[in-house]
Structure 1
Amino acid sequence: MRRLALAAALALGCGTDNSPAFSSTGVTSVAHTSSSSDSTTTSASTSTSTSGSAEDSAAASSSGVASTFDMAPPPDLGDPTPAGCKGKIDFVFAISALHTMATEQDQLVASLPGFIETIAEDFADFDAHVISINTDGSWRGDYCESPDWCLNKGNCGPYAVDYECGKYVDQVWTCDKTLGAGLIFNAGANAYNKPCNLYGGNRYIIDGEPDPAEAFQCIAQVGTFGEDPPLADSLVAALSPELNGPEGCNAGFLRPDALLVFVFIMDNEDVESTLSAKKVRDAVVAAKGGDEDAIVALAIIPQPLEGEPVPDCVYDSPPEGQFLGSVIEQFPYHADGDICAAEYATFFNGAAASLVHEACNSFIPQ
């Protein structure tokens, strides 16, 4: 089986041999094989039948022995399994850029290579689009260029020493300040602080990217200069016809024959989104032509406290629950991981990768 460059280069670029040991704490997944959005259980039944005359059937039932002399061989129906996505997958990452998110971004960047590699192993023609979206509708470099930093101090502070004041501001335009648009210039504290020159000239990574590990770090290291983001609303915007149309910021990203995998990463509650969980679900399903089996919903979010708390970590407070948790539960294929986990490789390479494979085998592109 041929391994495409995206998965191989990601694995080589960041290395997966040193991943922390796996654990299953804080992961919930639901598998789905029915087209009904209300079903979360799976069942299987098998039946056998033989062909022949009524007399043969009667004789077999009375004697307990079935005659095989008059039975024709079963027809060759070919491979009964669905065509599936065959590795054509669109990944959307919606990552909070609040001041508390530096560690979480590092863990995401470290865990993605293994995640992509795990998924790609079963697909000879793996073809991924990967986008990290603007979750608050701002270009965070504006803080760097403000009087508080560049204009008066000549730098962007101790957590953005690599930001070069004034050097790239002429490259910033509308899409860099649009909710849901792909990020290609993350600036400010703990950000990548350089423009991303992505292969193909899009605001997302495509197959053929010469250094996909570095490219993903560029788009996903969003920094910690962001506002409290409406993460769920930003996902809906990212998948909208306006942003995915020929003139949109994310033109060409969303493909009708690809599985959609979206990932929320946030260490506090999403209190800024205005859409209900159901409306988010309806908009995402509509973006996939009404096919809920074409979507895998993932979230790394606060979980209920079990055992001793991790310092500086946020926990869920039942019975309210996390809004982003409510969003992903609207989808048949969903899983959530613990934002306080010591590493995210366990979640991505375990429950998340399994769901992607399962959904891929069920999804029949229209």
Structure 2
Amino acid sequence: MRPGFFSFAVLLGLTVACNGGDAATGFSGPSHPGVTTVPVGSSSSTDAMAESDSSSTSSTSSSGWSGSTSTGQDGPKLDMAVPDAPPMPPIGCKGKIDFLFVISAWGGMEEVQKQLSDAFPIFMKKIQDQLGEFDVRVLSASPTGAFNMDSCSNCADAEDCTYNAKPPLCKAELDACDTTLGAGVTFPAGAGSANRRCDFYGGHRYILGEDPMFEQSFACLTQVGINGAVPETAAGMVHAISFELNAPEGCNAGFLREDALLVVTLFDDGYDAFSPGTVESWAQSLRDAKHDNEDAFAVLAFSTDIDAGFGNLCNPFNPVEDVNPLRELADNVAHGHFVSICEPSYAEPFESFVDEIVMLCENLHIPQ
């Protein structure tokens, strides 16, 4: 659905966008309330003496104390309630951010992938500059659960291949996770991709922030190429954060951390018509992964904006009425934004996201 005429530039920057943004400009999303904590309630009691004129008194001070006193045959009594507990201060994520990408390898996505590869490290550097501490993990989840290298002519080690051989004769030794929906991609295959096994520091299916070759690893991870496999972008996200894949023996073991902010970025130039479930079920999977804490995750969805009416960026003279499900997903969570994938530059959307990520990180409440 994405026409071939648009181009992309390097992304960078910092202003938070709010709900109700102009769809034609590509950036929209709900407002972002601050983190709140409900204090523990207090109670008071009164005692009365039935056979005297004296009576108990109760009072509540501005500090939240409440109580009563009485005097009886057994001596004075003091009945005071526990004071209101002050709100617990947020622990914060201490720089821990789990970045999850789901990137379609369908249609005209190759140029989008290149721009993402060039620009995202700059975006993360801006976050790091504001947070000080920075402990990131970056995973690119498979949106297909398929390995599509048609022939060894695409293999990065083609000289070692047999003519017209099929994988794994291209030295592509695959494991079960290479063909698992939502598993971290470590062997991107197809036209325009790395077409080799990404050698990530630490041996995981995701990148660690301390990877000495971070930018090269990120380029390998995000250039998933054009392999013709039908994407299930939202489903890839759902599986990537599932308990099954994040269990100790799962494909993504160690990626999703309890004390980290989760930042999801989706790239799909279509309507994601193939992911099972509903928009609400996709959103609920995020809430389940972060213990129903809406302030523990954020979503940035890049997709076609042909549902934005005349003047949209992707097909300005032929809009459609059906709302893009990925736009609905972004609107369905507290910290979600939708961006037209046909924006000539991704700099402003990513810039606008920096402040919000920093705020969420600093105010993150860790489940006890």
Q: TM-score, normalised by structure 1?
A: 0.73
Distance 1:104 1:315 in 2: 23
1:44-74 deviations in Å (ceiling 9; x for gaps):
xxxxx999xxxxxxxxxxxxxxxxxxxxxxx
Aligned to 1:356: 357
Other-structure match for 2:26: 26
Map Cα deviations across residues 123-142 of structure 1 (whole Å, 9 max, x no partner).
Answer: 2221000000110110122x
Q: Which amino acid aligns with 1:221?
A: Q
For residue 196 of structure 2, what is the aligned residue in structure 1? Answer: 194
Aligned to 1:261: 263
Q: Partner of 1:27: helix, strand, or coil? A: coil
AA at the equivalent of 2:27: V
Tell me which amino acid in the other structure corresponds to 1:361. E
Give the partner amino acid of 1:354: D
Aligned to 1:346: 348
Name 1:225's counterpart in structure 2.
227
Deviations 1:320-355 (Å, cap 9, x if unpaired)? 2111111121110111212011222221122x2222
Q: How does 1:283-322 map to 2 (within 5 A)?
A: 283-303=285-305, 304=308, 307=311, 317-322=319-324
Q: Following superposition, which runs of at least 4 residues in structure 1 exceed 6 angstroms of deviation?
A: 20-24, 313-316
**Is the alpha carbon distance of 1:32 and 1:315 closer, same or farther for their aligned partners in structure 2, counting shifts above 3 Å?**
farther
Q: Give the distance between the partners of 2:106 and 2:240, measured in 1 at CA.
A: 19
Indicate yes or no: 2:120 matched with 1:119.
Answer: no
Does the alignment pair 1:282 with 2:290?
no
**Separation in 2 of the partners of 1:256 and 1:206?**
16
> How far 1:167 moved relative to its partner?
3.6
Q: Secondary structure at the match of 2:131?
A: coil
Letter aligned with residue 125 of structure 1 = E
1:41 corresponding residue in structure 2: none
> Cα distance 1:280–1:315, how it changes in 2: closer, same or farther (>3 A)?
farther
Larger Rg: 2
1:21 and 1:341 mapped to 2: Cα distance?
14
Unaligned runs of 5+ in 1: 1-17, 37-48, 52-77, 145-149
Instruction: State the distance in 2 between where 1:271 and 1:163 align.
Output: 35
2:189, 2:224 within 8 Å by CA — same for their partners in 1? yes
How many pairs were matched up?
295
Query: What is the CA–CA distance in structure 1 between the aligned matches of 2:321 and 2:249, rounded to whole Å?
Result: 44
SS state of the match for residue 29, structure 1?
A: coil
Other-structure match for 1:247:
249
**1:82, distance to aligned residue in structure 2 (A):** 2.5
Q: 1:174 and 1:50, CA in 2 relative to 1: closer, same or farther beyond 3 A?
A: closer
Measured in 2, the distance between the counterparts of 1:186 and 1:348 equals 25
Supply the AA of the counterpart residue of 2:280.
Answer: K
Question: Do residues 168 (structure 1) and 206 (structure 2) align?
Answer: no
Post-superposition offset of 1:119: 0.9
Distance (whole Å) between structure 2 residues aligned to residue 306 and residue 124 of structure 1 = 44
C-alpha distance in 2, partners of 1:288/1:20?
Answer: 28
Distance in 1, Cα, partners of 2:284 & 2:360: 18
1:316–1:326 Cα change, 3 Å: farther
Q: Structure 2: which 5+ residue stretches go unaligned?
A: 1-8, 18-24, 37-60, 64-85, 162-168
Give 3-state SS (helix, strand or coil) of 1:342's partner: coil
2:144 pairs with 136, 140, 147, which one? Answer: 136
| Offset at residue 359 of structure 1 (A) | 1.9
Instruction: Note the C-alpha offset of 1:118.
Output: 1.3
Counterpart in 2 of 1:70?
none
The answer to whether the 8 A contact 1:333-1:359 is kept is no
Looking at secondary structure, tell me which structure has more helix per residue. Answer: 1
